A and B are shown apart, each in its own frame.
Chain A
Amino acid sequence: MSHHDHDHSHEPVAADEPPAGARARALEELLVEKGAIDRDDVRHRIDWLVSRSPADGARLVARAWVDPAFKERLLVDARAAALEVGLDPGPSPLVVALENTDAVHHVVVCTLCSCYPKALLGPPPDWYKSLPYRSRAVSDPRGVLGEFGLTLDEDVEVRVVDSTADIRYLVIPRRPGGTEGMREEELAALVTRDSMIGVSRAGPPLLFKS
């Protein structure tokens, strides 16, 4: 028990709590005690964040693939387009969608921290937050893409987009060939998290059929 008196424990709820986790928990305890934040509010925000997933962003991409007018609206204002299909675009003021084509390939990074369109993709993968990705995605993008298994022709222009401020970027990957007859719901299953960051292509469908 600490020096102050109250009715709850400061013990972690998880075993083997890492130092960073302990530090975050200590800060939360202090901020709650001082009335700066509310514990329920923190809980709700975390619940909201982990309930988002790449399936949300995939719905936007699949709709854009089948509906050119929707794609135009998505490129103009991704936040409004997300609301249009019933998705919650989150607190970020501006979401910008970037279209990959046979001539231009976008890949997103945040060199200064780990900015990511969490409302549409869920929490970012660990590698996205790692120093090697954050530095090498800008200094050697084609090398990094190669490590993800993506080799682009020399005549494709690679655009590395460093999300350094308030904008969150979502990549619209190219629609895979041979999917002409597929319905929107089937197409959405081809849109992976990594393809919406720009480190891979969308598809192919069903690597492991049951």
Chain B
Amino acid sequence: MSYRVGQQVRVAERSHDGHHRTPSYIKGKTGRVERAHASFTNPETRGYGRDGLPEKELYLVGFAYDDVWPDHRGGRDRIYADVFEHWLEVTA
């Protein structure tokens, strides 16, 4: 699955046993694709000495503070994180 810049996406709300690079504070949150970086080896397998293939697309996803922490008084402030494609979902 690939995504385009500007598209609204949700970060999967699932747990993962072992090394992964999706911080918990954005799991289940909805944001917007800000950049499509490139594809990189998957840290979830690379972290255990394997080759990390197939490569996964990496996206910079931006979130409004209010959507990440509802009681935050962030105003227009935003939080960005790099998220691999297999952690992203299309929103309805």
Contacts and interface: CB of A to CB of B under 8 A. Distances in A.
Interface of A: 93-94, 96, 111-112, 138-139, 141-142, 154-155, 157-167
Contacts of A155: 76
Interface of B: 21-23, 25, 35, 37-38, 40, 43, 58, 60, 62, 69, 72, 74-84
A161 B74 CA distance: 15
Contacts of B69: 139
B23 A112 contact: yes
Main secondary structure on chain A at its contact with chain B? mixed
Given A94-B38, A112-B23, A139-B69, A166 B58 contact: yes
B37 A164 contact: no
B37 A167 contact: yes
Contacts of A160: 77-80
B80 A161 contact: yes
Nearest to B78: A159
A163 B40 CA distance: 14
A162 B58 contact: no
A157 B63 CA distance: 13
B21 A112 contact: yes
Contacts of B25: 111, 138
A57 B63 CA distance: 28
Nearest to A106: B80
Contacts of A142: 77
20 contacts: A93-B38, A94-B38, A96-B37, A111-B23, A112-B23, A138-B25, A158-B77, A159-B79, A160-B77, A160-B78, A162-B23, A162-B81, A164-B21, A164-B82, A164-B83, A165-B58, A165-B82, A166-B37, A166-B58, A167-B60
Given A142-B77, A154-B75, A164-B22, A159 B62 contact: yes
Q: Which of B22, B75, B80 has the most CB of A within 10 A?
A: B80
Nearest to A159: B78
Contacts of B62: 159
Contact of B79 (A162, A163, A165): A162
A157 B74 CA distance: 9
B82 to A, nearest CB: 4
Contact of A167 (B43, B72, B78, B82): B82
A162 B21 CA distance: 11
